[in-house]
Amino acid sequence: MTLKPLKIDVVSDVVCPWCYIGKKRIEDALKLVPDVPVELQFRPFFLNPWVPREGISREEYLTAKFGSVEAYKGIAGRVVEAAKGEGLSYRPDLVQRQPNTIDSHRLIHWAEAIGKAPQMKQRLMELYFRDGGDLTDVDVLVKAAADVGLDADDVRRRLATDEDVDLIAGQAQEASSKGISGVPTFVFAQKYAVSGAQAPEQLARAIRQVSAEINAEAAE
């Protein structure tokens, strides 16, 4: 019999370092269960909904969130090491600007239409964490979109409008209203939520269990 695909919603934000790590871990988990059909979807979350659309300086952000730039250094060190363990590069020293991420989430949503949401999300995260890119800069966003195969002129035009702003805000609000407060959160079959950047082996186990359950239900 053909297995029913397991839907996994990855609720995360592009400026959340554990989401950067979590994306790699869920992708590694999928490699451990190649026989299980999975539909992965990326869902928006606003880690810092208070950051204005134009963004703020990184210094202002770290002071508001952690008390001081210094206070973040200890936390950052642990995350940098965790990222390195996954073969990812996080350079907090390069990040100059803290963006509001609604435009990044719009790009991921638009990339989904051509089956490139994972690549779009990866590109934005690499720009931010690895390269210190400014995700409030339209030119940076347009180039990132073009890099994954979206039409640059089309994206520039759409970014200048409010297209899908309400949709993204609504989806992020829905995640919060369902009790998701920490990201990444992986929602399996819209029933079970696993919070945090869990190890690939744990995620793979969860994928197997939930897939078996939904297919047993379908067979009844």
Q: What's the count of helices (H) and strands (E) in the chain, helices before strands?
A: 9, 6
The pLDDT of residue 220: 83
- Let me know if residue 1 belongs to a domain: no
The pLDDT of residue 190: 94
**Domain tally for the chain?**
1
Give the confidence band of 218 by pLDDT, cuts at 50, 70, 90.
confident
The pLDDT of residue 31: 98
- Let me know if residue 50 belongs to a domain: yes
- Let me know if residue 190 belongs to a domain: yes
Model confidence pLDDT, tens digit, residues 16-63? 999 999 999 999 999 999 999 999 999 999 999 999 999 999 999 999
Domain region containing 153:
6-219
- Let me know if residue 114 belongs to a domain: yes
- Let me know if residue 30 belongs to a domain: yes
Model confidence pLDDT, tens digit, residues 81-126? 999 999 999 999 999 999 999 999 999 999 999 999 999 999 999 9
The pLDDT of residue 2: 87
- Let me know if residue 42 belongs to a domain: yes
- Let me know if residue 213 belongs to a domain: yes
pLDDT > 80? residue 1? no
Strand order across the beta sheet in which 192-195 lies = 38-44, 6-12, 185-188, 192-195
- Let me know if residue 207 belongs to a domain: yes
Average per-residue pLDDT for the chain: 96
Cβ contacts of residue 152 below 8 Å, gap of 6+? 142, 143, 145, 146
Contact 150, 116 (CB under 8 A): yes
Contact 208, 29 (CB under 8 A): no
**CATH number of the domain encompassing residue 25:** 3.40.30.10
